[in-house]
Amino acid sequence: MAKKKIRIRAKMKGDVAEVKTLMSHPMETGFRKNKKTGKKIPPHFIKEVICEHKGNKVLVASWGVAVSKNPYLSFKFKGAAKGDTITISWNDNKGESATADAKVS
C-alpha cells in the first residue's frame, strides 16, 4: 500500500491563489488484470477531493476511474492571502482517506 501522501503548493499570483496538488494513489480502474493470475484487479480510486480555504469549500472534485494514477490537480481561486491555510482531503472507494494542509505563499 502506497503511502497516503498529498503534496500541495499554493501561491499567490496577484489576487488569485494558484493551488497545485499531487496525491499518491493507485487509481486502479477495475479493468486491469493481474498478468500472473489472470484475475481482475479490483477498482481502487479516489472518489472525492475537497479543497477548503477558511472553512469554505473552494473546489469539490468528483472523480471516476479515468483520472490518472497519482492524480494531479490544479485550480485557482480569489479571496486568499499569503499565510492562509488550504486544506485538501480525499476519500476513495475503499473508505480510505487522507488530509493535508499547506500555507499560501
- Footprint of other proteins (CB under 8 A): 16, 29, 31-33, 35, 47-48, 56-69, 71-79
Nearer to other proteins, 11 or 57 (CB): 57
**Minimum distance, C-beta of residue 4 to other proteins, in the bound complex (Å):** 19
Minimum distance of other proteins from residue 26's CB (angstroms): 12
Q: How far is the CB of 65 from other proteins (least distance, A)?
A: 7
Strands 72-78 and 97-103: unpaired
Distance in Å, CB of 42 to other proteins, minimum: 15
Residues 6 or more apart in contact with residue 44 via CB below 8 angstroms: 25, 26, 27, 28, 92, 93, 94
Between 10 and 67, whose beta carbon lies closer to other proteins? 67
> Would you say 50 or 100 has its CB closer to other proteins?
50
Q: How far is Cα of residue 71 from the mean position of the Cα atoms in its chain? A: 6
Query: Distance between CA atoms of 75 and 28, rounded to whole angstroms?
Result: 24
3-state secondary structure of 88: strand
